[in-house]
Amino acid sequence: MSMRVTVSDIAAATGLSKPTVARVLRDASAPFRAETRERVMEAARRLGYRPNAAAKAINSGRFDCAVLVMGTDPGRSFVPMGVINGIQAELVTHDMHLAVTRMPDQQLSDPNIVPKVLRQNMADGIIVNYTHEYPPELAKLMEWSGAPAVWLNTKRPNDAVRPDDELAGRMATEKLLALGHRRIAYLHMSPLAVPLPHYSAGDRIAGYSAVMAAAGLSPRVLHRQVSHADQPAAARAFVTGSDRPTAIIAGSDGNAVHAIYEAVHAGLSVPGQVSVVAISDEWDLFAAGLRVSSFAVHGRHEGEAAVRLLVEKIRVPSTAVATVAVPFEERPGETIARSPEV
């Protein structure tokens, strides 16, 4: 088995002192001549030197690691892969890496959980991903510990990153108004299995309702829990009734798919007779062979924003940082058109 290459080995190979070699390896900005620096780095590469991460952490007080904390219930702690990709990409720019830990609610309510998570994962800060009903004790423990922490997809006034859902409702409504639609309805059915709706549902409806009211129009909203089996029938009645709208804003991907399929099955032209726009969790959404017109948050942008906020918290952990609301972006599709009534 090969022996670990040490600073002493590099010093012997270069003829330089151990303190000089150690300083060059530890600090890229240390005041040495370029020739000395290159001599050390060339020897380190040739000998296969690998820095001791533990020693570096002891010297700097940093592990250069962020830990993503999630619950074990995927319905309340799901994180899209795009967000993960954004977190990892942004961490690289700060010379950091990511650790992930999943824990049941009971463990996340333990008074010792925050220092334990940081210690076991050798992390400098925490990204908490809980989309629904996070343990109330967890928020208190985060505050009491003073640990640098950022919350993902949670509506908190400080130290969080979330999509700007109210803006999404506004943007979708304004888009349809600009196309001449006046009978614009909002569809959001959630499954019975979800005990409490995510805050985003209400925020998106609030944005829609505000724009409709400003235009002198009456909002029409179907927002209730419906079993998976009954959702197609509920969507069919909403889309094809005697007072059917000319345009529908779907509050989720599933609602958009239901609306489009039921319209097509009823013989309605999409988007000729009814336009459908989704506020989407997917960057690209398709239904009935059509690319769905949508407003979506690029998950990568959300992940990047979370890391930037966490880095700021690590630098000044005692300071509350205003929550970042990541804007939605329009994704052009084939399911909206000018109102047939124009």
pLDDT tens, position by position, 237-289: 999 888 899 999 999 999 999 999 999 999 999 999 999 999 998 888 999 99
pLDDT of 312 > 80? The answer is yes
The pLDDT-based confidence of 51 (bands split at 50, 70, 90) is low
Tens digits of residue pLDDT in 176-227: 999 999 999 999 998 766 556 788 999 999 999 999 999 999 999 998 888 8
Average pLDDT, the chain: 87
**C-alpha span between 220 and 240 (Å, rounded):** 14
Residue 123 near residue 99 (C-beta atoms within 8 A)? yes
Query: Strands (DSSP E) along 133-244, which ranges?
Result: 149-152, 160-163, 184-190, 220-225
Fill in the amino acid letter for 128: V
Identify the pLDDT of residue 260.
Answer: 97
Identify the pLDDT of residue 133.
Answer: 75
CB atoms near residue 2 (< 10 Å): 5
Nearest in space to 256 (alpha carbons), one of 239, 273, 243? 239
Identify the pLDDT of residue 61.
Answer: 54
The pLDDT-based confidence of 54 (bands split at 50, 70, 90) is very low
pLDDT of 143 > 80? The answer is no
Ranked by mean pLDDT, the top range of 2-11, 18-27, 160-169 is 160-169
Residue 255 near residue 224 (C-beta atoms within 8 A)? no
